[in-house]
Structure 1
Amino acid sequence: MAINTSYSDVPALKIHSTKVRVRWAVSAFYFFQGLCFASWASRIPDIKAALALSDGAMGSILFALPAGQMCTMPISGYVVGKYGSKKVMHFALPLYSLAMVVLSLCTSSWQLAAALFLFGVTGNFCNISVNTQGVNAERMYHRPIMSSFHGAWSLAGFAGALIGLLMTGFDLNPTQHFAIISATAFIATYANVKFLVEDTGAKKQAVKEKRSFKPDPLILQLGIIGFFAMSVEGAMFDWSGVYFQDIVGAKGAWISLGYACFMLMMTSGRFLGDKIVAKVGKKRVMQMNGLIILLGFMLAVIFPYVPTAAIGFLLVGFGVSTNIPNVYSLVGQQNKISPSAALAAISSISYLGFLLGPPMIGYISELVNLRFSYAIIALYGIMISVMVTRLKVIK
């Protein structure tokens, strides 16, 4: 199946506003989804302390969130395909923000696990519908803009962390904090939802796919590329601080330097990525991304010192920044499967990397050490480059 990378042969989409306003509306949904997640993450220590949970118990409970996401991948793809991403976005983000509030109301471990499962379910509906909107908006623009949408999500991560510090500084408890964020998410939803792009023929496509859908080789390969990319992201999210503390030997505030470098460059790379893709093409960008990931990890592994490891993590952040956006963008340029169904399939495979990657690093580290674990993850960069090179349909 060939992918049309010229954006010239795409279905006509109904648009109720200017392109710029549509882009701002879609970006707002990416931002507030990221803000809700970052807000929850910023108050995990407070909720853990309030419920008197051990590290092990909290770690086990946290698995409920990806479990909720994984369980609803096929359902969310079908619902978005049948009713359209614009209609789903009417309730997806508000429900996601309300589920966040529920997290702060839990008084026992089982309640928190159930609430996290719900948070994962609603988050998955947000994920599939907002990325379908991103695909639609990029089709409308006839040029790459997907990376900037994911940049808005990453930017929300910084905003969520800063807001969390402010809320803690003002002695607001998690319930008050989350209620404020939820209220702004409701306002953002109904201020922007009317400017989203309608999915033409969504119901007809969904019915057709229900009868004839078979696993598509291209979708499977894109999903595997996403798996490697999200494994890298998970390795950095969960283990970069530990690497700086245990391997690099950083002290105090310097322990967070590696994670900060990674997030800074990943966010910057996403805002720069669309222009780079427009100039050199997705294939070359994704090939270079894989090599940059390899170089960054190996720099940090071979020279485990604060300056070199920081530079290495900067490179990893830049290398991983546009991989997932480009994979999602490619979904919108194929015409065999509706974007919502393809996104659900690819997300299911990709998210396994985010779920399984960090525990795998822990197991390898237990057997050998964390430097060896990061050297193994570095090879994922090579796998990304090789797989992209083998996919002749990517231009």
Structure 2
Amino acid sequence: MDSMNQLTDTGRRAPATAPPQVARLRRAISLFFALDGFVFAGWVVRIPAIKEQIHASAGALGLALLGVSVGSVATMLLTGKLCRRYGNHPVTVVTAALLSLSVALPPLTHSALHLGLVLLLFGAAYGGLNVAFNAAAVDLAEAVRRPILPSFHAAFSAGGLVGAGLGGLLAPRLSPLCHLLLLTATGLVVTAYAGRVLLRTPGPPATGQVPRRDGTDAVPGCGRAAVGRTRLFVTLYGLITLCTAYGEGALADWGSLHLSADLRTGPGAAAAGYAVFALLMTVSRMSGTWLLERLGDTPVLVAGGLLAAVGMLVGALAPQLWLVYLGYALTGLGLANVFPVAVGGAGALAGPHGVAVASTLGYSGILLGPPSIGFLAEAYGLPGALTTIAALAALAALLGRVVGRGRVGRRGRRRAPC
């Protein structure tokens, strides 16, 4: 079967007989997603304390924090190759263990340079884990023939909420070292428990992938033309992840500041704005499978992008607090399932390599978002700068439509025998 047909656009996929290990695999992979969000959020809430510990200026801290981004982006494509060679499950377990261990290193540093170096390792583990468990989740979704990827990303969001909330409670009571060592212990326990399931349960075979001699995955088809189409579609999916991740990263860093600086709210009301966004994103991802099975991939991509665009315009330009909250909520609802659908589409077409490409482009969006908003805010004001989130969400909707029409057109043509 032509793998361009793997992700049907109706959303009503033929049910597959699920072997007994599917439920165990789904729980185990969900635990790794939740662990990723939990550990990363726990680290983020201790950044101010680490800054004081190493006596770093804001500029020096910013350069050190780039270590996370550089390590992640540099590792993602390599992880795709490792997954093809050793399997998604072993790579998931190893990178989760590395993430759990490396999160305890920042409190041991005494300068911005040392912090940046250990954050390179932390970022490499974080980026590697994101590729590996997304690839494992895509394989499982293809095996059961259900769009279950949003549920895994809901676990990530829930883990982040728990990690941030717990971090806020522990920060006044525990030193950064004790807190992050607690994260390490928790991460290793979860990795040992869920990793045992992954390592003992063989992963489902990737659907429709043909290993090539050059180590890449290709679509069964008529030679280079089919490979070229696959690369084009994977790139389009990657651009969709970039557009949506830009919004997530920018809103996380600047959403609360918009409320406090432009609407003159207090710290609590400002923090509540991002909480509304994150909560609605989690809720939307929990219902993502239901939506995809009834509407299909393309309607979710298009409607999600457009909803986020409208929501962010309201959130950026509305003069009243309740309207900004409403805009943030709509943005979270809209963006929530676009990223997992795009990663799943790329993974279904090109296996771990597709996941790695989409994840790398998506993480690039997270990198571009916050500094871009900062530069634009100086020139046009923060409300105007935040409208770029709406513009890129609308672009994601357009790209989702292009991808959907391309898949439908591809299915509508008979493929000549090779």
Name whichever of 344-353 and 105-114 sits farther off.
344-353
Show the counterpart of 1:162: 165
Structure 1's 60 and 83: CA in aligned 2 closer, same or farther, altered over 3 A? same
- Classify the secondary structure of the residue corresponding to 1:72: helix
> Aligned residue for 1:205?
211
- Given the alignment of the two structures, is residue 187 of structure 1 paired with residue 193 of structure 2, yes or no? no
Q: CA deviation at 1:73?
A: 2.2
Q: Would you say how many aligned residue pairs link Structure 1 and Structure 2? A: 388
Distance of 2:271 and 2:7 partners within structure 1:
39
Which deviations, in whole Å up to 9, do the C-alpha atoms of 1:156-209 show, x marking residues without a partner? 11111122133224x321222122221221121121223335264899837543
Q: 2:49 matched to which residue of 1? A: 46
Please list, as runs of the form range in 1=range in 2, the aligned pairs for 1:279-298 lying within 5 A after superposition.
279-298=294-313
CA contact (8 A) 2:140 2:203 kept: no
Partner residue in 1 for 2:342: 327
**CA distance in structure 2 between the aligned counterparts of 1:25 and 1:393, rounded to whole angstroms:** 34
Letter in 2 for 1:227: L
Contact 2:347 2:353 in 1 (8 A): no
User: Secondary structure of the equivalent of 1:63?
Assistant: helix
What's the % identity of the aligned pairs?
A: 26
C-alpha deviation, 1:360, in angstroms: 1.0
Structure 2 CA distance for aligned equivalents of residues 303 and 349 of structure 1: 31
Q: Which residue of 2 aligns with 1:23?
A: 26
TM-score, structure 1 normalization: 0.92
1:2 is displaced (CA, Å) by 2.0
Give distance in 1, aligned partners of 2:191 and 2:267: 40
Which of residues 57, 60, 64 in structure 1 aligns to 2:60? 57
Correspondence list, 1:262-281, <5 A: 262-281=277-296
Are residues 210 and 330 of structure 1, via their aligned partners in 2, closer, same or farther at CA, if it must alter by over 3 Å?
Answer: closer
Cα deviation code 1:20-55 (max 9, x no counterpart): 221111100111111110110111111111112222
Partner of 1:227: 242
Once the two structures are superposed, the pairs formed by residues 353-372 of structure 1 within 5 Å of their partners are 353-372=365-384
Q: Deviations over 1:70-127 (max 9, x none)?
A: 1122211111111101111231111111110112211111110001111111111111
1:348 paired with 2:360, answer yes
- Give how far 1:141 is off: 2.3
Query: Higher mean Cα deviation, 62-71 or 191-200?
Result: 191-200
Of residues 171, 174, 179 in structure 2, which corresponds to 1:172? 174
AA aligned to 1:209 is G
- Kept in 1, the 8 Å contact 2:24–2:197? The answer is yes
Q: Are positions 1:142 and 2:145 aligned together?
A: yes
Matched letter for residue 385 of structure 2: S
CA distance in structure 2 between the partners assigned to 1:277 and 1:154 by the alignment: 19
| Closer/same/farther in 2, CA of residues 105 and 206 from structure 1, 3 Å limit | farther
Change (3 A) 1:120 1:46: same
Matched, 1:97 2:86: no
In the alignment, what sits opposite 2:390?
A: 378
Question: 1:122 is matched with which residue?
Answer: 125
Distance change >3 Å, CA 211–CA 394, structure 1 → 2: closer
CA contact (8 A) 2:245 2:363 kept: yes
What's the CA shift for 1:295?
Answer: 1.1
Shift of 1:301: 3.0
Assess if the C-alpha contact under 8 Å between 2:210 and 2:217 holds in 1.
Answer: no
Report the CA distance between 1:154 and its aligned residue.
0.6
Cα RMSD over matched residues? 2.4
Distance across 2 between alignment mates of 1:142 and 1:201: 12
Distance 2:86 2:189 in 1: 23
Mapped contact 1:86–1:199 kept (Cα < 8 A): no
Counterpart AA for 2:389: I
Distance in 1 (alpha carbons) for counterparts of 2:314 and 2:77: 39
- Alpha-carbon distance between aligned partners in 1 of 2:315 and 2:169, rounded to the nearest angstrom: 33
TM-aligned CA deviation for residue 393 of structure 1: 4.2
SS state of the match for residue 198, structure 1? coil
* Deviation larger for 177-186 or 310-319: 177-186
> Structure 1 residues 229, 394: closer, same or farther in 2, change over 3 A?
farther
Partner Cα separation in structure 2 for residue 305 and residue 61 of structure 1: 37
Counterpart of 2:36? 33
Distance 1:88 1:301 in 2: 41
- Identify if the C-alpha distance between structure 1 residues 99 and 109 changes in structure 2 by more than 3 Å, giving closer, same or farther: same
Would you say the 8 A contact 1:101–1:182 is kept in 2?
yes
Aligned to 2:416: none
1:190 maps to a residue whose letter is: A
The corresponding residue for 2:74 is 71
1:242-253 to structure 2, matched below 5 A, reads: 242-253=257-268
Q: 1-side partners of 2:22 and 2:396: how far apart? A: 33
Does 2:317 match 1:312? no
1:111 aligns with 2:123: no
Quote the Cα distance in structure 2 between the aligned partners of 1:62 and 1:211: 34
Instruction: Tell me which amino acid in the other structure corresponds to 2:320.
Output: Y
Partner residue of 1:85 out of 63, 88, 112 = 88
Q: Give the whole-Å Cα distance in 2 for the aligned partners of 1:351 and 1:204.
A: 27
Distance 2:217 2:276 in 1: 47
Give the Cα separation in 2 of the matches to 1:331 and 1:134: 12
Separation (CA, whole Å) in 2 of partners of 1:108 and 1:119: 16
